[in-house]
Chain A
Amino acid sequence: MSPTTTPTVDPQTPSTSAYAAIDAGKPRFAWVRGSLQQVLAAASLIVIVIFFSVASTHFFTANNLISILTAATVTGILALGTTFVIITGGIDLSIGTVMVLCGVMAGVFLTYWGWPLWAGVLATIVFGGIIGLINGVNVSILGIPPFIATLGMMLIAAGLSLVISGTKPIYFNDTPAFQQIMNLSIIPGVRFPLGVAIFIVMIIVAAILLSRTIIGRYTFSIGSNEAATALSGVNVRRWKIIIYTLAGLFVGLAGVLSASRLSSAQPTGGMGLELEAIAAVVIGGTSLQGGKGSIIGTVIGALIMAVLTNGLRIISVPQEWQSVAVGIVILVAVYLDMLRRRRD
């Protein structure tokens, strides 16, 4: 027997024992762990809901649950789009202020320029997409790190909102139907707003995009191993631009809904919203290292944040403490995820 062969293997035919040797290190029941973070997030959501339901009779009512969903809508839609970017291993810090800028642009299209409602709304969403496209070009063609590229865009958008609006809110007086986009009650008898329905549709759209389309496949692939994806003949630069543009379209929609909700385009604010959206994504188990994540996780993450804010207000915890609570939730969620990974 030569030193380089083992007695169990016949070199001509790969016997099952040869494969058994290869299989030795394969973890069993690994598939359970993949979805554990989502299960964990969902379980935490349920625990939090039960806690508040016990703590206050005002919490678990149809009206309050709908207002939680309403509160989750804008951040949630931002989070949906940014989930794609984060799975590629990137980050988009500009979504908060760009959303505000999109609201201002809706004011420009509809109030300043007097466009019809459908055109103004469409143009606003496309505008968001264009900003996303610019982010994508900056990241993938110019090679600016996503953190810096979108930090720059965050400041640019914050400034442009003020410049374009002359620092004053823009009201949608000529298009009264604009505020119905978010607020129209679509179920008789229940105050179920159209905006929440749009959110739900967007969840489904995002979930299909991520799991069933080429965009989603390359999103995971780039985040998993960008160099290898490029070597496999995928035009990584182009797909990154597409992914940032897609995230921008979601931002544009969020801008429409947010302005509609307030019946006006408020040129200030938006800063910090990107971090709330990123928090929702992270709580939902999407890895900032890229390659891992899910839409359902992001939705649960956004709901956890909305339920916490709402519930703490209902049980009369001062607002100052709400942000503390959200911060703790983020740390706990990510720590649990780390624990899980370490065990693997």
Chain B
Amino acid sequence: MSAVQTPPLLELEGVSKGFPGVLALDDVRLDLRHGEVLALVGENGAGKSTLMKLLAGIYTPDAGVFRMNGQELVIDGPRHAQEQGISIIHQEFNLMPDLTVAQNIFIGREKRSAGLFLDDRALNARAQELFDRLGLALDPDEPVERLTVARQQMVEIAKALSFDAKVLIMDEPTAALNDAEVDVLFDLIRRFRSPDTGVIYISHRMEELARISDRISVLRDGRYIDTLETASADQKQVISLMVGRELRSEQRPGPVAASDAPVLSVQGLSTKRLLRDVSFEVHAGEILGFAGLMGAGRTEVARAIVGADRRDGGVITMRGTPVDIQNPADAARLGIGYLSEDRKQLGVLLERSVRENIVLASLRDYVSGLGFVNNRRIEATGKEYVSKLRIKTPSTAQLVRNLSGGNQQKVVIAKWLAKDCDVLIFDEPTRGIDVGAKEEIYALLRQLADQGKAIIMISSELPEVLRLSNRIAIMAEGRLTAVLDNADASPEAVMDYATRFSAEGTIA
């Protein structure tokens, strides 16, 4: 009998789940071995989140079997999943910002006396015990809203592990973390891993998979494609399994002809909080990438330029003329469009149609003298950009909410193109967008630059910066530490400039 292999920690077989009009999961299998980190990858719409929600007990499967250690497992609701040892850390945090750390961790499981009264001191003590066990430096009594994103994630993990989890599922856990924070997270994952636990790790970031995972399972269009050993898999192979086609090899852009005068020039930009004397210029036809660690001030530069944040000093020049930008409306009038990193909050109106979103910044051009909106022209413009940017939508009347992340991003881009902007500032243009759609966004950015737009692209993904930018501006602690030509910018060089902190006595 000893020759018989032990059953995997978690095993899925023949799992299907349909929604009206779509088969989200079609006969999917998956196995998670004891003690491993299994990466689960796939484009948006591949079925990862449906699979997660089945395991979380939010959905029930139409068909299929779950087994844990060989025993069949029926999951009845989120609470039941947790009790069975399956804990999920969702992409959007499920924390109550107004409650303390300990209150969040034990929400729904509070010990009460007389059915009514709570003992927060005991709750804090239990939380502290948990943190000691996990080696987490968290204060149980601190309200969650005062924690950084990284620490909120630690709370999520502590909460998940407080259920005595056997299977930990993480959905894009590093989306909002900087490198140092990612290291802490990975350390936690490694320490969680034991002979009777396992981790399913969902991510779009290929480099991370190589660092943390043992195997990689690929889903595409709701179907299971393949599982690879991470050690022997290469990135291109995984991506081609995900998208079902080989992607053309990367080509790094060279410098643009610097003969013409800059479109946008920034001199000595400073803000009270962070920025110190930031100066750079962008030319027509150029993509200027901004690299740096989280909190280095890249987004702040963009926000200060368009007047979303107050400037404390600095001169902004457009085509040789100094301009006065007090607010984003001024910036838009001058032809500077800012595409926020927070697409859903600050980029699109989710509940409005594609065409309304596209003309939002230029609505005045569609209003007659009497104040009536010309819907026919809006429709025409909407159609024009939907076909130009290949936005996948059944019609321009579709609500933006129903579009995928990549197509929502295209709507935002269309909005600024309709405004006829010469300078486009992209802040994390591919955040939360799947690999195939990323390629399209990259191609679109390149195309816009080739058409003569001046593009600033802020990205936390170094490969993305290196691949797209003609020149790369690197920031650290609110200062610009270098502007490199792409040819001079190795990952090591960029990292070096990104960690040039100013404080005396630290890294020189």
Contacts and interface: CB of A to CB of B under 8 A. Distances in A.
Interface stretch (A10-18, A179-187, A270-278): A10-18
B151 A3 contact: no
Contacts of A26: 146-148, 151
B486 interface: no
A18 B146 contact: no
A12 B190 CA distance: 8
A231 interface: yes
Contact of A4 (B98, B103, B135, B208): B208
Interface in A15-46: 16, 18-19, 21-27, 30, 34
B185 to A, nearest CB: 10
A30 B94 contact: no
A5 interface: yes
A271 B182 CA distance: 56
B99 interface: yes
A7 B143 CA distance: 31
A11 B183 contact: yes
Contact of A232 (B58, B107, B180, B499): B107
A242 to B, nearest CB: 11
Given A233-B79, A233-B109, A234-B107, A21 B180 contact: yes
A214 B109 CA distance: 10
Contact of A220 (B58, B94, B98, B499): B98
Contacts of B108: 229, 232-234
Contact of A291 (B78, B96, B495): B96
B148 to A, nearest CB: 5
Given A23-B148, A232-B108, A9 B180 contact: yes
A22 B181 contact: yes
A224 B137 CA distance: 24
Contacts of A224: 96-99
A57 interface: no
Among B79, B183, B293, the one with the most A-chain Cβ atoms within 10 Å of its Cβ is: B183
Nearest to B494: A3
A324 interface: no
Contact of A217 (B118, B151, B183, B207): B118
B303 to A, nearest CB: 15
A5 B180 CA distance: 7
Nearest to B95: A228
Contact of B151 (A22, A27, A215): A22
Nearest to B143: A34
Among A22, A24, A231, the one with the most B-chain Cβ atoms within 10 Å of its Cβ is: A22
Given A234-B107, A291-B98, A21 B186 contact: no
B133 to A, nearest CB: 14
Contacts of B178: 21
Contacts of A2: 491
A19 B494 contact: no
Contacts of B491: 2-3
A83 B137 CA distance: 35
B492 interface: yes
Nearest to B137: A19
B372 interface: no
A142 B148 CA distance: 37
Contact of A9 (B77, B107, B183): B183
Given A4-B208, A22-B151, A225 B95 contact: yes
A4 B179 contact: yes
Interface in B473-493: 491-492
A8 interface: yes
Nearest to B141: A31
A240 interface: no
B368 to A, nearest CB: 36
A24 B148 contact: yes
Nearest to B210: A4
A220 B293 CA distance: 35
Interface string B232-259: 0000000000000000000000000000
27 contacts: A1-B492, A3-B494, A3-B495, A4-B211, A5-B183, A6-B293, A14-B135, A18-B183, A19-B137, A21-B178, A23-B148, A26-B148, A30-B146, A212-B118, A213-B112, A214-B115, A214-B117, A217-B103, A225-B96, A227-B94, A228-B96, A229-B96, A231-B90, A233-B79, A233-B109, A291-B97, A291-B98
9 residue pairs, one from A and one from B, having the closest CB atoms: A3-B491, A233-B79, A224-B96, A228-B94, A21-B180, A291-B98, A224-B98, A233-B108, A234-B108
Interface of B: 58, 77-79, 82, 90, 93-99, 103, 107-110, 112, 115-118, 135, 137, 143, 146-148, 150-151, 154, 178-184, 186-188, 190, 207-208, 211, 293, 295, 462, 491-492, 494-495, 499, 507
